[in-house]
C-alpha cells in the first residue's frame, strides 16, 4: 500500500502513555530526531505497574527535552477524561497522534475497559473533530488468541480473544476502521509482540524473570516449558513505530474497485520466536556477565515448568511482511545483544 509521507519535524505530536515502556522510548527518539516542533506527553501516572519506573522514564524524558531543539510538554491526566482530551486537542492542535495509553485486565477489569475503550474513543473522536495527518495506535499480538496458524498475519482470524485486554484491543481496531472509513482519518494499528529491553516494566517476561532470579525465586515457564514467544528489542520496536508514523495510509480502492478506508495494520515483532527456556538461559548468562548473579548460579534450580496461564497462547510468531514491504523495517538487535543491554541497564539501576 502506498503511503502519504508525514514529516514529524516541526509538528506537534501527541503521545499518550508516554511514561510507559514503549511510549517513553518513542518520546526520547522524537526529542532526539526533531529539530523543531512540540511533543505532548499525556499520562495519568497510575499505579498500574512500577510507579518508580514510570517516574524514572519521565525523568529521562525531561533530561532529553533539556537538550532537544523540540519542546516537550507533560500533561498529567487520563485519556478516559473526555474533557481533558478535548482540551489538549483544542489547546495544542496535534498533527500526529500516537496512542499508546492502555490498561491490562489482570488486576482491574473496570480500569481496562475505561482506558482501552472509553479512552480510545475519546482520542479518536478528538481526531475526528480536530483532523490529524496520522493516528497511530497500539494494538497487541493478543488479538490472535490461540491461533494455530503461524506466523500470525494481519488477515488472520481475530474473533477468539483469550482475555478482556485482547478483546479491547481488537475493539480498538474495529473502531479505528469505522472512523477511517466514515471520516477519512488515516489510522494505523500496530500489533506489538513481546517487546523487551532497558526500562522494561515488571509485566514483561524479561524483567519479571530477572526480578525473580535476583530474589532467589523460581521463574515459571508456561505450558510445561513448551512455550514460544516472538521477542523484539525495544529499539527495534520504536524504529518501527517511528517509521510508521511517517507513512500514513491513503484512501484507495479495494479488489472490487470499491473505496477503501485509509486504514492499515502491522505486526511489530521479529518473526523469529524463541523458546522461553532458551530465552531464560540467555538472560541468565547476561545477568552473570553483568555481575548480577554469581558465575556458579544454578538456573535449573530456579525455573519451574508450569501449566499454561489463562489468557495466554503457547506460541506467538509475527508475520512482519507488511512492515518490511511498506516501511523497509527489519529488526537489527538480536536476543543476546538485547539481553546484554538489558542486564547492563538493570545493574545501573541497583
Which structural domains are found in the chain, ordered by start? 3-196+232-271+317-331 (3.40.50.720)
Question: Could you tell me the end-to-end alpha-carbon distance of the chain, in angstroms, rounded to an integer?
Answer: 46
Within 8 A by CB and 6+ apart from 274, the residues are 228, 229, 230, 231, 335
Q: 279 near 28, Cβ under 8 Å?
A: no
Predicted model pTM: 0.95
Cα 337 to Cα 210, 256, 317, distances in angstroms: 16, 46, 20
Per-residue pLDDT 10s for the chain (350 aa) are 679 999 999 999 999 999 999 999 999 999 999 999 999 999 999 877 688 999 999 999 999 999 999 999 999 999 999 999 999 999 999 999 999 999 987 778 999 999 999 999 999 999 999 999 999 999 999 999 988 899 999 999 999 999 999 999 999 999 999 999 999 999 999 999 999 999 999 999 999 999 999 999 999 999 999 999 999 999 999 999 999 999 999 987 565 555 689 999 999 999 999 999 999 999 999 999 999 999 999 999 999 999 988 888 899 999 999 999 999 999 999 999 999 999 999 999 87
Q: Which residues are catalytic?
A: 165
What is the reported pLDDT for 147? 86
What is the reported pLDDT for 346? 97
Structure-block grid coordinates of residue 328: 523497509
Q: 266 near 238, Cβ under 8 Å?
A: no
Q: 143 near 161, Cβ under 8 Å?
A: yes
Give me the count of residues in the chain. 350
Cα 189 to Cα 56, 59, 117, 186, 286, distances in angstroms: 28, 28, 15, 10, 33
What is the reported pLDDT for 148? 86
What is the reported pLDDT for 255? 58
What is the reported pLDDT for 26? 98
Structure-block grid coordinates of residue 122: 475519546
- List, in sequence order, every residue forming a beta bridge with 298; answer none if it has no partner: none
Amino acid at each position: 500500500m502506498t503511503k502519504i509521507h508525514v514529516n514529524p519535524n516541526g509538528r506537534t505530536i501527541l503521545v499518550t502513555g508516554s511514561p510507559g515502556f514503549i511510549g517513553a522510548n518513542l518520546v526520547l527518539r522524537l526529542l532526539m530526531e526533531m529539530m523543531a516542533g512540540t511533543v505532548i506527553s499525556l499520562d495519568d501516572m497510575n499505579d498500574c505497574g512500577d510507579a518508580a519506573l514510570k517516574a524514572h522514564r519521565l525523568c529521562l524524558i525531561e533530561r532529553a527535552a533539556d537538550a532537544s531543539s523540540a519542546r516537550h510538554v507533560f500533561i498529567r491526566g487520563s485519556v478516559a477524561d473526555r474533557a481533558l482530551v478535548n482540551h489538549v486537542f483544542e489547546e495544542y492542535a496535534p498533527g500526529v497522534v500516537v496512542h499508546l495509553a492502555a490498561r491490562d485486565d489482570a488486576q482491574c477489569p473496570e480500569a481496562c475497559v475505561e482506558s482501552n475503550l472509553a479512552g480510545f474513543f475519546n482520542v479518536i473522536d478528538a481526531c475526528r473533530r480536530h483532523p490529524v495527518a496520522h493516528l497511530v495506535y497500539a494494538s497487541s499480538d493478543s488479538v490472535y488468541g490461540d491461533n494455530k496458524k503461524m506466523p500470525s498475519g494481519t488477515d488472520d482470524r481475530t474473533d477468539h480473544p483469550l482475555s478482556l485486554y485482547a478483546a479491547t484491543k481488537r475493539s480498538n481496531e474495529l473502531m479505528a476502521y469505522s472512523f477511517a472509513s466514515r471520516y477519512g482519518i488515516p489510522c494505523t494499528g500496530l500489533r506489538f509482540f513481546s517487546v523487551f529491553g532497558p526500562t522494561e516494566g515488571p509485566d514483561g517476561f524479561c524483567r519479571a524473570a530477572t526480578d525473580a532470579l535476583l530474589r532467589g525465586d523460581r521463574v515459571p515457564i508456561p505450558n510445561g516449558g513448551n512455550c514460544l514467544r516472538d521477542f523484539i528489542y525495544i529499539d527495534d520496536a520504536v524504529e518501527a513505530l517511528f517509521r510508521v508514523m511517517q507513512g500514513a495510509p491513503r484512501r484507495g480502492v479495494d479488489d472490487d474497485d470499491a473505496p477503501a478506508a485509509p486504514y492499515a495494520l502491522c505486526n511489530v515483532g521479529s518473526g523469529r520466536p524463541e523458546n522461553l527456556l532458551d530465552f531464560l538461559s540467555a538472560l541468565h548468562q547476561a545477568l552473570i556477565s553483568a555481575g548480577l548473579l554469581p558465575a556458579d548460579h544454578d538456573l535449573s534450580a530456579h525455573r519451574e515448568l508450569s501449566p499454561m496461564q489463562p489468557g495466554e497462547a503457547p506460541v506467538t510468531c509475527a508475520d512482519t511482511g507488511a512492515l518490511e514491504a511498506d516501511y523497509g523495517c527489519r529488526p537489527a538487535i538480536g536476543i543476546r545483544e538485547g539481553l546484554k543491554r538489558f542486564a547492563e541497564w538493570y545493574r545501573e539501576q541497583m
